[in-house]
Amino acid sequence: MLRFIFAAVVLALNGCAMIPSELSTGGPFAATTPLQAQSGSHEGERVRWGGVIIRATTESNRTCFEVMGLSLDSDAAPEANDQSLGRFIACAKGFYEPALYAAGREITFTGRIEGTEQQKIGEYLYAFPRLTADAVHLWPKRRNIVYVPYYDPFWDPFWPYYYHPYRHR
């Protein structure tokens, strides 16, 4: 008979994966990135893309967003890093207030790749993948959050390094 007692006293920070409901339907989503979609060969694929708004332009019955794509975390929120996945243009039906959907804000869409469009960034001719978006999620501004530490009995201090000094050999 083996008895096992394991106690770990730690301060840990946990997040639960909570994809906003409007972004969690309509899948499955292709893993295609905006950079890969520049080739034009990914038309019709359904994707979930997000990033930082560069500009929102309102048209008579829709709003188009120019976005710098970023990888998404388990909540489908853009991850703040330096690895841009390429820019894209996402258009959604309806009016989205450009003063709210402002440059610098984080946003995630689901939708269909509808081809590419040549547009200039400065003087550089860039092939923007076009996304017809059916869901638009604007993320709250990041705040300087003070996390309250709590005791998590299941926290494994050695994860993800599987070096357990008390493990059987």
C-alpha dihedral, 16 to 21 to 23 to 28, nearest 10°: 90
53: β partners: 67
The contacts of residue 97 (CB under 8 Å, 6+ apart) are: none
Question: Pick from 4, 140, 145, 169: which binds other proteins (CB under 8 A)?
Answer: 4
Residue number, 151 or 158, with CB nearest to other proteins? 158
Question: Pick from 44, 59, 124, 162: which binds other proteins (CB under 8 A)?
Answer: 124
- Name the E strands within 23-105: 46-58, 62-70, 86-93
Considering only the stretches 19-27, 38-46, 110-118, 123-131, report the one whose residues sit in contact with other proteins under the rule CB under 8 A.
Answer: 123-131
The answer to whether 133 and 109 have CB atoms below 8 angstroms apart is yes
- Site size toward other proteins (CB under 8 A) is 27
The number of CA neighbours under 13 Å toward the Cβ of 34 is 29
> Cα(14)–Cα(140) distance, rounded to whole angstroms?
19
Question: Pick from 12, 68, 91, 135: which binds other proteins (CB under 8 A)?
Answer: 68
Asked if 160 interacts with other proteins (CB under 8 A), we say no
Asked if 132 interacts with other proteins (CB under 8 A), we say no
Asked if 159 interacts with other proteins (CB under 8 A), we say no
Asked if 166 interacts with other proteins (CB under 8 A), we say yes
Using CB under 8 A, list all residues that contact other proteins: 1-10, 52, 54, 68, 82, 84, 86-87, 121-126, 157-158, 165-166
